[in-house]
Structure 1
């Protein structure tokens, strides 16, 4: 067994302390251990380094010449270990990096403009790449680093990944201002009979977020159109006899009228999600903090 494999950090800290204090009792107090524990570590060091290291006196210990020669090396090793465990200071002005976010167009309207404003002011070297939400590739994209952060509904993101809630969103039922089939106030049963549109990012299915809730009310809805974005949903509703459910932060819209229902459908959380390997990255943590600050301000969408 090599000498290196027989030495550990506790022994180095004992050696460092004794070289400074030259007293076993004081070193034990500093390290929060017993004096016997310090003596045991010193015994191991003597065997490993093949030197007495310290000579006992009536006032403490005196280092041998060999022990004194080790002091600058021990200082350097412990300083290097301390630096290893100390997070690098984040110099935002010096960073040149691309950060990739995957999200729906809801978050691109509600959050992105304010994040861009902050980045241009505080971290101008950070390039921001926004990708559409590819639901079936999110887990692998986060794992490989193709995507740094996902902002979306919890139902769309991979489970068991680190996340934080940014805000809670509500749905509003809307139809075209020209749609004569709808009234300003309607029941769930009435609205379920109106042909509807759902937003399904990347999958193009017809389930939508509220399908299960409508079935639980005893009024399955008639979904005839699936689109990948809320932007497309607003345009299609505005030019058809369809109705749909749009996040409240994307309203008002001059081409759409809001329908008040006798029951409110459940809202949803908007969360940010990342891979565990990015949890301690300084830039990643800073951007996550900025997202929280943006959403805490509850700014209205222009």
Structure 2
């Protein structure tokens, strides 16, 4: 019979246990005495106990009613604390948000974003994890990841992405003592930009987050120039790519917003690969989540140059 117990029954029982008086209970519930008496009758049938007996001008709970009072009060308390979508004030939220991000996004986007979130929603805790590639849609669907900061090419089907800004690549090499930092020739004139033909004579470091591949994002661009480069190393992050380049004579393409980087110098090129779009990706189920909305809006505000 317990499955027939409904919310209004619990509220009636809680009021009767609080006031020990049908009239006062009815007033607190904004109901008539007859309505409360009817609900009490129904409660007795469902629970199989008299629950209350009359005494003087009031009622007193039976031993069984006293034994379940803490359960009833706990259930009512939890129901009263139940959050509603319309009351999702992020300044009062006590929850955590999991953000999956590339090392680039962790360096360029997240520091300002986290600082802004702490000012607006101080009770929200942030968990940052490295970018997920293979199972991103599944983990977002299950609620293991709330937001991903990555490039448009790494967003799998089934997710929504919001463009943040366009990034461009620059080519870098180790800044060794033997390399002139002002890149001038003996006559004091600036050195001409390096040609793509000269560039492909060098060994490259490429970056492939979450995948094992020697094919970098600029491969198609080199093919369009009618050339093939030699990739010596594939790194999982831009940070590690920087370290490999610093310790060698290899070159690589690094996002411009990571510069300047101590130990690296920019190689001026006659032409460069096209830029790429940095995006925030999320699952459709959190589309109306106020916290996710704030994070998206804050990311866009930090990058006002994006024009769509």
TM > 0.5: yes
Q: 1:127 to 1:146 in 2, by over 3 A?
A: same
Matched, 1:117 2:125: no
Residue in 2 aligned with 1:248? Answer: 256
1:129-278 correspondence runs (5 A): 129-178=127-176, 185-278=193-286
Q: 1:213 to 1:246 in 2, by over 3 A?
A: same
1:30-109 correspondence runs (5 A): 88-109=86-107
Structure 2: runs of 5+ lacking an equivalent: 1-83, 184-190
Q: What is the count of residue pairs matched by the alignment? A: 213
Residue in 2 aligned with 1:280? Answer: 288
Following superposition, the deviation at residue 87 of structure 1 comes to: 5.2
Q: Secondary structure at the match of 1:135?
A: coil
Following superposition, the deviation at residue 143 of structure 1 comes to: 1.4
CA deviations 1:161-196 (Å, max 9, x no partner) are 211111100000000012869976311111112000
Following superposition, the deviation at residue 254 of structure 1 comes to: 2.4
- Distance (Å, rounded) in 2 between the aligned partners of 1:159 and 1:144: 16
- Distance (Å, rounded) in 2 between the aligned partners of 1:297 and 1:181: 34
Residue in 2 aligned with 1:292? Answer: 300
- Distance (Å, rounded) in 2 between the aligned partners of 1:117 and 1:203: 31
- Distance (Å, rounded) in 2 between the aligned partners of 1:297 and 1:207: 30
What is the TM-score of this pair, normalised by structure 1? 0.67
Following superposition, the deviation at residue 224 of structure 1 comes to: 0.7
Following superposition, the deviation at residue 263 of structure 1 comes to: 1.2
- Distance (Å, rounded) in 1 between the aligned partners of 2:271 and 2:199: 11
Structure 1: runs of 5+ lacking an equivalent: 1-85
- Distance (Å, rounded) in 1 between the aligned partners of 2:258 and 2:305: 17
Contact 1:179 1:241 in 2 (8 A): no
Following superposition, the deviation at residue 92 of structure 1 comes to: 2.1
Contact 1:150 1:273 in 2 (8 A): yes
Contact 2:155 2:161 in 1 (8 A): no
- Distance (Å, rounded) in 1 between the aligned partners of 2:179 and 2:115: 42
Q: 1:99 to 1:265 in 2, by over 3 A?
A: same
